Amino acid sequence: MSLPGHFPAGGVEILYFETLLTQVFEIPDGKNRVVDGVLREVRTQDPELKGSIRAFLQSMPPELLTRGLLAGLTKEEVEPFGGPVRLSTYIKESYPFYLDPIPNLYFSRDYGSVIGNRISVNSMKSQARRRESMLLQAIVDYHPRFDGAGAEPWHRWDEVDIIEGGDILVLSPKVVVIGCSARTSPEGIEELALRILHSDQGFREVLVFQIPFTRAYMHLDTVFTMVDYDTFTIYPGVEDRISIYRLTLGSGNGLAIVPETNLEKTLSKSLGLPGVRWVPTGAGHALTAQREQWNDGTNTLAVAPGVVITYRRNRVSNDQLRRKGIEVLEIPGSELVRGRGGPRCMSMPIVRS
Band of residue 284 on the pLDDT scale cut at 50, 70, 90 = confident
Name residues whose C-beta falls within 8 Å of residue 265's C-beta, 6 or more positions apart in sequence.
none
Name residues whose C-beta falls within 8 Å of residue 20's C-beta, 6 or more positions apart in sequence.
139, 143, 145
Give the chain's mean pLDDT. 87
Question: CB-hemisphere CA count at 13 Å for 188?
Answer: 27
Band of residue 3 on the pLDDT scale cut at 50, 70, 90 = very low
Torsions phi, psi of 97, nearest 5? -110, 140
Band of residue 81 on the pLDDT scale cut at 50, 70, 90 = low
Q: Report how far residue 334's alpha carbon sits from residue 311's, in angstroms, rounded to the nearest whole number.
A: 8
User: Cα 24 vs. chain centroid, distance in angstroms?
Assistant: 21
Residue from 150, 283, 152, 293 nearest 218 by CA: 293
Name residues whose C-beta falls within 8 Å of residue 56's C-beta, 6 or more positions apart in sequence.
73, 77, 78, 81, 82, 83
What does the pLDDT look like over 31-56, one tens digit per residue?
999 999 999 888 777 888 888 889 99
% residues pLDDT > 70 (the chain): 92
Q: Report how far residue 289's alpha carbon sits from residue 230's, in angstroms, rounded to the nearest whole number.
A: 22
The answer to whether 224 and 231 are in contact (CB under 8 A) is no
Average pLDDT of span 11-38: 93
CB burial of 176-185 (b: ≥16 within 10 Å; e: otherwise) equals bbbbbbbbbb
pLDDT of res. 68: 93
Band of residue 7 on the pLDDT scale cut at 50, 70, 90 = very low
The answer to whether 241 and 231 are in contact (CB under 8 A) is no
What CATH architecture applies to the domain 104-339?
Answer: 5-stranded Propeller (3.75)
> Which of the pair, 11 or 227, is modelled with greater confidence?
227
SS3 143: coil
Residues of the chain with CATH 1.10.3930.10: 16-101
Q: Which helix (H) or strand (E) holds 280?
A: strand 277-280
Q: Which helix (H) or strand (E) holds 232?
A: strand 231-234
The answer to whether 343 and 107 are in contact (CB under 8 A) is no
pLDDT for 82 beyond 70: no
∠ CA 347-338-114, nearest 5°, is: 15
pLDDT of res. 91: 61
Q: Please state which of the ranges 56-60, 124-128, 234-238, 288-292 shows the lowest mean pLDDT.
A: 288-292
> Which of the pair, 290 or 216, is modelled with greater confidence?
290
pLDDT of res. 340: 79
Helix (DSSP H) and strand (DSSP E) numbers for the chain? 12, 17
pLDDT of res. 84: 58
What does the pLDDT look like over 216-246, one tens digit per residue?
677 898 899 999 999 999 988 888 889 999 9
Q: Please state which of the ranges 17-21, 212-216, 270-274 shows the lowest mean pLDDT.
A: 212-216
CB burial of 221-242 (b: ≥16 within 10 Å; e: otherwise) equals bbbbbbbbebbbbbbbebbeeb
Residue from 224, 226, 258, 265 nearest 241 by CA: 224
Positions marked catalytic: 345
Average pLDDT of span 150-176: 92
Residues of the chain with CATH 3.75.10.10: 104-339
Residue 348 gets the label, from left (phi > 0), alpha (psi -120 to 50) or beta, of beta
The answer to whether 175 and 203 are in contact (CB under 8 A) is yes
**CATH number belonging to domain 16-101:** 1.10.3930.10
Q: How far is CA 84 from CA 50, 59, 135, 233, 352, in A?
A: 10, 17, 28, 55, 50
Residue from 347, 322, 336, 351 nearest 103 by CA: 336
SS3 38: helix
